[in-house]
Amino acid sequence: MPGFELFGDEERKEVNDVLATGILMRYGFDGPRKGIWKAKELELAITETFGCKYAQLTSSGTAALTTAMAALGIGAGDEVIMPSFTFVASFEAVLSVGAIPVLVEVDETLTLDPEAVKNAITPRTKCVMPVHMCGSMADLDALQSICKAHNLLLLEDACQSIGGTYKGKALGTIGDAGTFSFDFVKMITCAEGGVVMTNNQDIYTKADGYTDHGHDHLGVDRGADLHPFIGYNYRISELHAAVGLAQIRKLSRFLELQKKNNTALRKHLEAIPEVSFRVVPEGGDDSCSFLSWFLPTKELTQAVVQEMKNQGVLAGNFYWFANNWHYISKWDHLKSAQTLNRISADQTNALLQLVQTNFPQSDAIMSRCISTAISLVWTEEQIQEKGTKMAAIINKVLGR
């Protein structure tokens, strides 16, 4: 799955270009940098690779989500509908702009259930935020229809789905805005980084300024820039952008290897009638970073997880239902509103209400789900060994 598995001379070359100039910041110092603009190059490569008009790099995927929300005008008291299965950064970003995360059920796509979204809409709802977890997507046609009917924004958290597509369009480029994460374990890594993608020039202009203290970036003298609004420092460095520039040029190779290895491993599990797989919406093309699969019951799934642990093959297999970072049942700090700084009364009340909120549909799905991370560097022999061991463990638990 992660691009760091194939880190090599290409990344070193791009980083050394920056080191040779000594200019590590993405803005200014035009003369000494000698024409080296890695962040600008990467932003252009993102628009060309994924088919969006505009791309604004950030210091992380979380910063990208925060920037996108600010650029979309999401703020104090606005409700953002999001799935109960995601990464903590999704709700952290919502809270950071003063908005309220409204968590709802997922379906077997492992992301937003459109019916649950409809039922969660209130007069305060501003945005629907599908999180395309583990390489695949939500039912975007259904969500776009809901947003259109209720005049809501659609923000794609595509941080875990680089390379996935829906009806021929790259995930992250379909909504009003979308985001990728380029952290160390993503499909493309910058070590740390992220991007806001959009086809709307106004959203891009706001994102561009917001990530750099509100600079308008309209002049040749950075010190003379105007500040049409307040911004923050979510800039990426030239060093991080340089790594990403080498990585994005290898994306097609990454995806080819990932899909090949995913398909090969899946064949071992497909032979077991009791195993089923996540639903990919019609027209969707999974990036195949994970193989997500289900067993018939929670009890059988937990027994398989335990047997994997006993046999030393649990590494790379994620049981999200009991994972501290990714599922609502483990987010005690969210449900008790444990923040270092004081948040609004509306935010606090909404978070405390989560203690009494149940997610039976999501529990029934996530308690039966295991996601296996797909490596880019597996050999055929390693896939055969892994698949054979996993199948044997499942069959043992099933009593065969």
Residues known to be catalytic? 186
DSSP codes, 45-111: HHHHHHT-SEEEEESSHHHHHHHHHHHTT--TT-EEEEESBS-HHHHHHHHHTT-EEEEE-B-TTSS
Contact 191/185 with Cβ under 8 angstroms? no
> CB under 8 Å to 340, separation ≥6 — which residues?
none
Q: Which of 259, 239, 186, 266 is nearest to 5 (CA)?
A: 186
Within a 10 A sphere around the Cβ of 25, how many other Cβ atoms?
A: 14
CA distances from 235 to 193, 214, 371 (A): 9, 12, 33
Contact 153/147 with Cβ under 8 angstroms? yes
Which pair of tokens denotes residue 389?
Answer: 């061991």
Amino acid 142 reads: A
Distance CA 40, CA 165 (A): 24
Distance CA 276, CA 258 (A): 20
> CB under 8 Å to 281, separation ≥6 — which residues?
109, 137, 138, 139, 140, 141, 166
Distance CA 337, CA 318 (A): 26
